[in-house]
Structure 1
Amino acid sequence: LDTVEENLEVLRQQGKNVSRAMLKGLEKRKHNLEAKLEKVEHAIKSRTDDVVDFKQMGIDHIFIDESHQFKNLTFNTRHDRVAGLGNSEGSQKALNMLFAIRTIQERTGKDLGATFLSGTTISNSLTELYLLFKYLRPKELERQDIRCFDAWAAIFAKKTTDFEFNVTNNVVQKERFRYFIKVPELAAFYNEITDYRTAEDVGVDRPNKNEILHHIPPTPEQEDFIQKLMQFAKTGDATLLGRLPLSETEEKAKMLIATDYARKMALDMRMIDPHYEDHPDNKASHCAKIIAEYYQKYDAQKGTQFVFSDLGTYQPG
């Protein structure tokens, strides 16, 4: 709750005015957090089982393998319209982990209290680095007067506005935190808690990848469907896609539906409707052709191919 108001203080320190809309958003976030805390408090008080809890167990350190599974930790920010920040609500699993680590840190009076083991510590968002510090270095963050994500981002991240293509191939403006700044200071802070090993360090023998990108122009059916998809994204008229009108819930997920159709369409129009023809220029046909060529080329050597596809694969039954 404290970090909600601190987000506004960060704005004031940057010389920006706090509008009525910002204050309204602040009150809403405070209300949501208070309701969430009241729910947790009620659940704790309502417990009737007589068990030993984590605090009573006296644990002073925990090791978390595959720690990236806990990086969906709740955080507070006023940048709720900035793309790529992840889910600020977080997961209950990650919050439980934070409670456990904080219990250890309060007992020892020090940071850390846990060892995170992962091959993908940071993969999708700049916020993941902040959340790692939130888990393991709360006292150091406080010493640096960093008490919320917005304060951390104001020091170490740069937000830019660029033009991007959306799922319907329209150009839209997107705000993102795209770059780290003050990299030497941030790297030094990170290295204080990090010990890393590369594949070369541990002697993992990996083959070199020869990546070939195949550019395939859309078929006439795909070009026609793209226009329908763009209209659907603007109007929400699901009949354009050959489906029933959207329900109230589906209307809120309109862009997710458009993304799903775009993925299927790009592979093979028969993913949309089995009545479409097996066009020789769709992605699936091109892939099958190349696989067949390699099969014939290396048949004498009994060559083996691995094909990874998470869409349009055969499902038994």
Structure 2
Amino acid sequence: LDTVEENLEVLRQQGKNVSRAMLKGLEKRKHNLEAKLEKVEHAIKSRTDDVVDFKQMGIDHIFIDESHQFKNLTFNTRHDRVAGLGNSEGSQKALNMLFAIRTIQERTGKDLGATFLSGTTISNSLTELYLLFKYLRPKELERQDIRCFDAWAAIFAKKTTDFEFNVTNNVVQKERFRYFIKVPELAAFYNEITDYRTAEDVGVDRPAKNEILHHIPPTPEQEDFIQKLMQFAKTGDATLLGRLPLSETEEKAKMLIATDYARKMALDMRMIDPHYEDHPDNKASHCAKMIAEYYQKYDAQKGTQFVFSDLGTYQPG
């Protein structure tokens, strides 16, 4: 709640440079947090049982295995239109964990009292790194005058606007925090609280990876399309690819479009147009042939195959 009020004060000082939607969003968030606190306060006051709460239990350290399950912690940000930041509302489970850790930290007066154990400390978004510090290094963040995500991002992250494909395969502009800055300082800060071990360090017994690369020559149709793709990259003439002329937005992102076509072409020409031939030298055809061979070879043992492809996979509905 304090960080929301700080953000509101900053926005009010900026005056005309702030959108009404941004100001309204923070005011709504403040109202929701106040309502949540009032609800918790009422529940505590109206409690009639003799249940011992976490503070009364005298716990001085907690170990959290699979700690990434608590990464969905609430945070405040003015960057509500930036993609990839995750859910700022967070979960009650993560908030309960924060309360437990803060109870221990307030008793000791230090950034101690919790050990996180995880194989995927950071997996999806940049905010997960900030929230790790929020859990484990609150006093150090305060010492650096970092009281909210926006203050942390202003120091360690860079926001850019770039072109991307959306879910309907249209080109759109997206704002994201794409880069870390001041990496040495951030790495040093992270290393202060991190002790990591690889599978080799702890002697995990794993089978050796047998990696086989298959060289598949391009089909005549692919060679012809490569030439068209090169011309498109130079001229922006989308009719070469069998599509309508580019819009103004698409013109700015023509290299992104060319890359998308190249990826699809390399897998199977029918990803571009279903009227292309089902050529035996398509990568998809080679893959299907090999999967079938392994299936027949190990069917008696009921062998299992795991197949990954980031293109051309079935989408239900």
Give TM-score scaled by structure 1 length: 0.69
Say whether the 8 Å CA contact 1:10–1:151 is kept in structure 2: no
The whole-number CA distance in structure 1 between the counterparts of 2:312 and 2:258 is 17
The whole-number CA distance in structure 1 between the counterparts of 2:72 and 2:133 is 13
Report sequence identity in percent. Answer: 99
Deviation string 1:103-160 (CA, Å, 9 cap, x unpaired) is 0001111112100000000000110010000001111000000000000000011111
1:65 matched residue in structure 2: 65
Q: How many equivalent pairs are there?
A: 317
Describe the shift of the 1:277–1:185 C-alpha distance in structure 2 as closer, same or farther (beyond 3 A).
closer
Describe the shift of the 1:281–1:291 C-alpha distance in structure 2 as closer, same or farther (beyond 3 A).
same
Kindly report the root-mean-square deviation, in angstroms, between the aligned alpha carbons of the 2 structures: 8.4
Say whether the 8 Å CA contact 2:163–2:256 is kept in structure 1: no
The whole-number CA distance in structure 1 between the counterparts of 2:42 and 2:265 is 48
Higher Rg of the two aligned structures: 2
1:240 matched residue in structure 2: 240
Task: Give SS of 1:115's match.
Answer: strand
The whole-number CA distance in structure 1 between the counterparts of 2:243 and 2:51 is 53
* Superposed displacement of residue 215, structure 1: 14
* Superposed displacement of residue 11, structure 1: 6.9
Describe the shift of the 1:272–1:169 C-alpha distance in structure 2 as closer, same or farther (beyond 3 A).
closer
Say whether the 8 Å CA contact 1:168–1:230 is kept in structure 2: no
* Superposed displacement of residue 40, structure 1: 1.9
Describe the shift of the 1:161–1:271 C-alpha distance in structure 2 as closer, same or farther (beyond 3 A).
closer
Unpaired runs of at least 5, structure 2: none
Task: Give SS of 2:216's match.
Answer: coil
Unpaired runs of at least 5, structure 1: none
* Superposed displacement of residue 239, structure 1: 31
Say whether the 8 Å CA contact 1:11–1:18 is kept in structure 2: yes
* Higher deviation after alignment, 89-98 or 2-11: 2-11
Task: Give SS of 1:212's match.
Answer: coil
* Superposed displacement of residue 290, structure 1: 3.7
Describe the shift of the 1:218–1:68 C-alpha distance in structure 2 as closer, same or farther (beyond 3 A).
farther
The whole-number CA distance in structure 2 between the counterparts of 1:127 and 1:269 is 39
* Higher deviation after alignment, 121-130 or 41-50: 41-50
Describe the shift of the 1:248–1:46 C-alpha distance in structure 2 as closer, same or farther (beyond 3 A).
farther
* Superposed displacement of residue 182, structure 1: 0.5
Say whether the 8 Å CA contact 1:8–1:18 is kept in structure 2: no
* Superposed displacement of residue 180, structure 1: 0.9
* Superposed displacement of residue 205, structure 1: 4.4
The whole-number CA distance in structure 1 between the counterparts of 2:285 and 2:183 is 46
Say whether the 8 Å CA contact 2:171–2:249 is kept in structure 1: no
Say whether the 8 Å CA contact 2:164–2:256 is kept in structure 1: no
Say whether the 8 Å CA contact 1:168–1:229 is kept in structure 2: no
The whole-number CA distance in structure 2 between the counterparts of 1:36 and 1:112 is 28
The whole-number CA distance in structure 1 between the counterparts of 2:222 and 2:285 is 14
* Superposed displacement of residue 43, structure 1: 2.2
* Superposed displacement of residue 248, structure 1: 34
Describe the shift of the 1:294–1:67 C-alpha distance in structure 2 as closer, same or farther (beyond 3 A).
same
Describe the shift of the 1:63–1:171 C-alpha distance in structure 2 as closer, same or farther (beyond 3 A).
same
* Higher deviation after alignment, 124-133 or 282-291: 282-291
Describe the shift of the 1:34–1:238 C-alpha distance in structure 2 as closer, same or farther (beyond 3 A).
farther
* Superposed displacement of residue 227, structure 1: 26
* Higher deviation after alignment, 263-272 or 107-116: 263-272
The whole-number CA distance in structure 2 between the counterparts of 1:266 and 1:104 is 56
2:39 matched residue in structure 1: 39
2:273 matched residue in structure 1: 273
Describe the shift of the 1:260–1:45 C-alpha distance in structure 2 as closer, same or farther (beyond 3 A).
farther
Task: Give SS of 1:16's match.
Answer: helix
Deviation string 1:172-222 (CA, Å, 9 cap, x unpaired) is 111111111100000111111110011222233445657799999999999
2:140 matched residue in structure 1: 140
* Superposed displacement of residue 4, structure 1: 1.3
* Superposed displacement of residue 21, structure 1: 3.8
2:162 matched residue in structure 1: 162
Task: Give SS of 2:15's match.
Answer: coil
